[in-house]
Structures are given as C-alpha cells and as structure tokens.
Amino acid sequence: MNLFDMRTVVLTSAAIVFVCSLLLLMLWRQNRGRFSGMGLWAGGFAAVAVGFCLLFLRGIIPNAASILLANVVIMSGALMTLVGTDRFLGRRGGHLHNVVLLGVFAVLFARYSLVQDHLPARTALVSVLMTLFTAQGAWRLLVSIGPEVRRWTFLTGSVYGAFALINIVRLVRITSGADASWGDFFAANGFETLIVFLYQLLSILLTYSLTLMVTRRLLLDVRAQEEKFSRAFRSAPYVLTLARLSDGLIREVNEGFVGITGYAYDEAVGRTFSELGLWAVESDRRAVVEALVKTGSVRDREYPFRLRSGETMLGALSSDTLEIGGETCVLSSITDVTDRRRMEDALRESEEKFRYMAEHSSDTIWHTDAECRFTYVSPADERMRGFTQDEVVGTTVWSLLKPEGVEHVRRLSAQYAAEGRTDAGTGALRYELELICKDGTWLWTEVNVVPHRDGVGKLVGYHGVTRDISERKRTAERMEHLARHDPLTDLPNRALFFDRLDVALALSKRNGTRLALMFVDLDRFKPVNDTFGHAVGDVLLREAAGRMRACIRGSDTVGRIGGDEFVVLLPAVETQKAPLVVAEKLRRALARPFEIDGRRIGISCSIGIAIAPDDGCDPIELAKNADMAMYLAKQQGGDAVRFFGSQAEAPRVTEKALPRET
C-alpha cells in the first residue's frame, strides 16, 4: 500500500484524532471540577475521529453513511470544540447561528452526495463551514478578549486561525476550477492529501495548545489563590502564627497577632513562644505539641494566653501541621473568646432562670422557627394536652389546629400585619384557638405570640405562651346560650327566634319562596298551675317543648316567647298544606295526656298560622297576624288550627276547623 494513499491518510487521521480525544478526556477528568467546556473538547475530537472512520469505510458501507453522515459528524465535532472553547472562557449561548449553518450544510451536502454526486461542491461546503467555525474560534481567542487572557489563549487562537487559512486556500483552489474533474475522493491529487496531512498536524497542535491553555490557567489560578490566602493571612482579625513544631520558633505572624497580643512584628518573628511568654501555662503548650505530633491537628481548644501588657486573654486555639522546606511547621489560629465566655456564662445563668420558670409555669411556653415548627415546648403542655415534648418538637403549629383554626390565624395575622402590629416592640399577637389533645378532644386556649427577629430584622421564629381557657370559654358560651334561649325549655327565646325570622324573611324574598309563622298557645294551662303548682307546670312546659321539637324538621325553629306561648318558624313552604300538616302534628302531640308525678294531665293547644309574603313581609306584621289567627282559634273553643285570611278588609280566620283528636 502506498504510504500516501488517501484511504491510508484518512485512517491515520482517525487514529491521531482519536488519541487526541483520549488525551483531552484525561484532561477533562483531571480538571472537570475547575473549568467548563473540556468535556465538549473530548467529545468534539471523538466525533471527528468517528467521521474519519466512516470516510475510511467508503465503498464498504452505504454512501449515506460514508459520505453524508461522515462529514456531518466531522462538522458537528468541530462545532462542539468551538462551543467547548466558549464554555472554557466562561461564555454562554450565542451558537444558534452555528447550529443553523450546520443544518444548511447537511441539507446541501445531502443534495451533492445523494441526489447529484459532485465531489468539488461537497469539498467547497466543508471548506466554507470549517472556515466559519475556525475563524470564530480565532476571533474569540485573539481579538474579543482582554490582553491578560490573550497571553494564555494566543497559541490556541493561532491554531484556529491556521485552520481557517488552510480552508480558505482550499476553497480558493476549488472555486478556481483546478479540481473540476475530480470525482473520487480516494483518487485525490497531492494537494488534497497535503490538506488532510495539515489537518492531522493542526489537530495535534490544537490538542497541545488546549492542554497548554488549561495548564496556564491553572497556574494563574494557583497564583491568585496564593495571593488571596496571603492577603487573608495578613488581614485576618484574629491571631495567626506559623511556627516550627520542634522548638516553637515563630516564622510568621499576621496583623491580627500584632493588634491583639501587643507584640510588634519584629519582636515576635525569630523568637519562640516560650521566649515571648505567650502561653500563660507552659503545660498547655506541651499538651498541644504532643497532640500535634500524634494527630497533626488541634481544634477549638481554649487556653489562657498572656499579652504583652501582662493581661490574660482566653483564646480558642486551632492548629495544623504542614511541611515547609523539609521542616514540620504549625499553622495556628487563636480567637479571643474572653468576652464570648462572659456572655455565655451570663446567658447560661439566664437560661437556667428561664428553664425554671418555664418548667414550673401552668402556662405552656414554646418557641418555633420561621416555618412555625416547634423547637421548644415547656412541660406544661404535657399536663395541658397530654403530648410529651418529644412528640411536639419538630411538628408544626398548624398540626395542632382545626382547618377553620388555621384560616382564623391567617386571617387575623393579615389583619395584625395591616395594623402594623407584627413589627418588633408592638406587643404580642393574641389568638383564641382550639388545640388537639392526645385523647382526641379539643381544648380552647388563649395563644399570645411575639415574632422573633434577628439583628437585621429578619424573622427567625416565634415565641409564644399558651393558656387553658376552656372553663372560661364554657362559661362564656353558657352565658351566651342563656341570653338567647329560654332557661326553662332551652328553646330559642324571643330575641333569637325573631333574629332567625328576619333571616328567613330575607331569604324568602331573595329566593321567591314562602314561609309560615305559627303562634301556639296551650289551652287550659292556667288551671294546671293553679291546681298542681308551678313545679308541675314547669315540667309540663318542658315536655311540651320536647314534643314540639320532635314534630318539626331540622331547618325549622320552635321557640318560647313567654308563659304558655310558643312560636314555630317553617321556612320554604311550597303550599298551604305543608304548614297545616305540621300544625296538625303539633296539635295531636300536645293533646296526648302528660304523665307527671303519677298524674295524667290533659291539655290542648290553639294554633294560628300566617304565611309570608301573603300575610305580611316584615316580622312585626307577620307576627301580629299569626297571633290574631291564634286568638280567634282560641275564642272558638281552642284545640284548633286557623290560618290568617288576608283577602278581607279586616283580619279574619278561615272558617274550616280541624277535627279534634278523641
């Protein structure tokens, strides 16, 4: 085989580029945590190697793969390398136009390879796209960057520029017609073979320049880190020293050492710690040296140190050993914790006082983080709700509340925020909430909360006190109930009943429905009181109320408005027959004898009915008409039901009487 046969040259190109991709892959694995883009370099070179392999197989595999796919893969590899270079330089985006160019290239290349086999046109397309890609790389690395960066990108930019120049020369030769009769890539002339050889050479140079570019950038980063650490060492606000481990000879100190200890730089460097008398207790120094010999490091050990003024400072010491010039040295930092220790002692005493108060208080004292998750809860919570501290800490405030309780807190908190009460110094926020107990019951509590903010005003949590107000709540609810219910029968009293009548009338008007109002008066009740006494009469009233409740729906209301007078509200009645059926149930229920203290007591009732809106649209008029109907029913002998008639000029009752139960 001829050494310069084009197929051989293509195969050697694939091998060379593949080796380059392996080198770049190793470079990426070594530095992937430091710089971006190197993985794209390795991938781009690998893609070019695959493309050359497909070219080598021309005549063995279909032309779609060995011609079209091979060249598209090679161009894709070139684009990946360019994108990787941008990523390495810290640039993002800006390659949509290159993707479009690659797509156009693929379409045109398909036309001149699969539709019309035209090798010079395909070669021109490759030269144009390679020129565009490599010229962009040269511009980025040589022109569009600063002079400091150009120092370590110049060689790579020059290689990109050489690639662009070779492709321009190749393009000029093709467009001049020098290779117009060229029809077989593997029968190429010496010029094309030279071009491929130059591609090989430049690929090796590009790999070398990329590796050199990474190395130079690493060196610059190392120098920057050295400068940064040197400045950090010098300007650190705490004591930093570098000393020989064997004898404690001080080799370097920082400005913090000078400012805190009072020793000048020249006084300290070149002398030992023992000569300076920095250690207040010599045995402490020996203990630290022994620990460093054994483990190589010491962390946050507190020791007393003597300052140049003779005062003693409590310092937190951290030390590490390191090798410098063949000697074992110690890098130490000492932080002045004297004030912090005093504050910690005072805080510890304060915490002990608070803990005593919290553990013996009948109210629950608690803290949460900013997400309302409990970080502390006092023992009183276990006495109050049954949960242990371990069961509560880590849970959220919301887990203790009913859904309506959560909504109440959020609504009231928004109101407090609108009033400005959530700012520091404006007092506690107060809520009355039901909290879950361990046995599944709910406990009414008063919760007082104060937002906890840090020094810059950022919310970091909440402090709170929870007090059991269940007894107070029950008393208030009982008083509220008594204020709106009849104490004897526990039925709604006049105020509550007419409140409900107002609401029912408004709904009836809005929905276009009717409602019925009944006035019920017990017949022959006064003789019961006169004959058997008021105690028996009270029992009869309670039983009568119970019978009436049993005759109505859940949406209906029965109330007592005084003495032996009751009222019944039936909302949303469709016909006159509906209230008549209920009234008949009431009449029959009250006509049954009452068994009280061994006595059978018989009474009856008179019922008057008014229908809204026919017999009135406001509570006063409707009640007056229902009372009128009840009065007329009573005048005609009682034990009857009467409707109010609104057609006549004066109020009247319907003539039809319901039959009595016998």
- 161-219 residue pLDDT tens: 999 999 999 888 888 876 554 556 766 567 878 888 888 889 899 999 989 988 888 88
Residue 497 has pLDDT above 90, yes or no: yes
Residue 623's φ and ψ, nearest 5 degrees, are -65, -40
End-to-end CA distance of the chain: 132
Interacting residues of 331 by C-beta distance below 8 A, sequence separation 6+ = 240, 241, 242, 319, 320, 321, 322
Residues in a beta bridge with 336: 315
Residue 597 tokens, joined = 């203290």
Residue 340 has pLDDT above 90, yes or no: no
What are the C-alpha distances in Å from 99 to residues 69, 457, 477?
16, 51, 76
pLDDT > 70 in the chain, percent: 92
Amino acid at 74: I
Residue 497 tokens, joined = 């009943």
Residue pLDDT, tens place only, 63-73 = 888 888 989 99
Residue pLDDT, tens place only, 620-640 = 999 999 999 999 999 989 999
Helix (H) or strand (E) holding 549: helix 534-550
Mean pLDDT, residues 493-500 taken together = 94
Residue 422 tokens, joined = 């959530």
| Overall size of the chain counted in residues | 662
Residue 259 has pLDDT above 60, yes or no: yes
pLDDT at 178 (0 to 100): 60
Residue pLDDT, tens place only, 545-589 = 999 999 999 999 999 998 899 999 999 888 888 999 999 999 999
Residue pLDDT, tens place only, 278-321 = 898 988 888 988 888 898 899 988 899 999 888 888 988 899 99
* CB-neighbour burial class of residue 113 (10 A; exposed 0-12, middle 13-18, buried 19+): buried
SS (H, E, C) 268-333: HCCCEHHHHCCECCHHHHHHHHHHHHHHCEEEEEEEEEECCCCCEEEEEEEEEEEEECCEEEEEEE
Interacting residues of 177 by C-beta distance below 8 A, sequence separation 6+ = none
Strands 250-253 and 239-244: antiparallel
Choice among 245-254, 342-351, 368-377 with the minimum mean pLDDT: 342-351
Residue pLDDT, tens place only, 399-453 = 888 888 888 888 887 887 777 665 444 567 888 888 899 899 998 888 888 888 8
467 close to 446: Cβ distance less than 8 angstroms:
yes
- The number of beta carbons lying within 10 Å of the beta carbon of residue 150 is 14
Residue 592 tokens, joined = 């049954």
pTM over 0.85: no
SS (H, E, C) 136-194: HHHHHHHCCCCHHHHHHHHHHHHHHHHHHHHHHHHHHHHHCCCCCCCCCHHHCCHHHHH
pLDDT at 353 (0 to 100): 66
Q: Is residue 433 classed as helix, strand or coil in its secondary structure? A: strand
